[in-house]
């Protein structure tokens, strides 16, 4: 999809535009003085971007977890044990 935007809008939202171009594959035409001045397009094709609608196909393909998998439980416990401690008091109180 190609979206036309003004040069002012492009300047104000440049970082967001770059993210949309890189991660979503979006394309923009920058308009200045009512005429197209530049195109902002991905250098490389964007990677696969999944949408919520794609979940129906993705979820069944994921490996299942064995509810009796002690290794998984141990990994979760190990990860929890290396987390920093929560402060005793909230800094805003």
Residue 47 lies in a domain: no
* Tens of pLDDT, residue by residue, the chain (93 residues): 789 999 999 999 999 999 999 888 899 999 999 999 999 999 987 666 677 888 888 888 888 777 777 888 888 889 988 988 877 777 676
Residue 88, pLDDT score: 77
Which residues 6+ apart lie within 8 Å of 18 measured at CB?
none
CATH number of the domain that residue 25 is part of: 3.40.1620
What is the C-alpha separation between 59 and 48, in angstroms, rounded? 16
* 50 three-state secondary structure: coil
Q: Domain range spanning residue 17?
A: 2-40
Q: Is there a domain that residue 19 lies in?
A: yes
Residue 45: inside a domain: no
Residue 46 within any structural domain of the chain: no
pLDDT value, residue 93: 62
Nearest CA among 36, 33, 3, 38 for reference residue 21? 3
Are 42 and 27 in contact, with CB atoms under 8 Å apart? yes
């Amino acid at each position: 999809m190609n979206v036309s935007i003004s040069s002012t809008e492009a300047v104000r939202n440049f970082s967001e535009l770059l993210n949309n171009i890189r991660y979503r594959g979006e394309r923009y035409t920058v308009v200045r003085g009512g005429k197209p001045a530049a195109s902002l397009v991905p250098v490389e094709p964007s990677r696969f971007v999944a949408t919520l609608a794609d979940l129906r196909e993705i979820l069944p393909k994921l490996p299942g977890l064995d509810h009796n998998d002690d290794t998984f439980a141990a990994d979760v416990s190990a990860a929890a044990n290396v987390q920093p401690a929560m402060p005793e008091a909230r800094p805003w109180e």
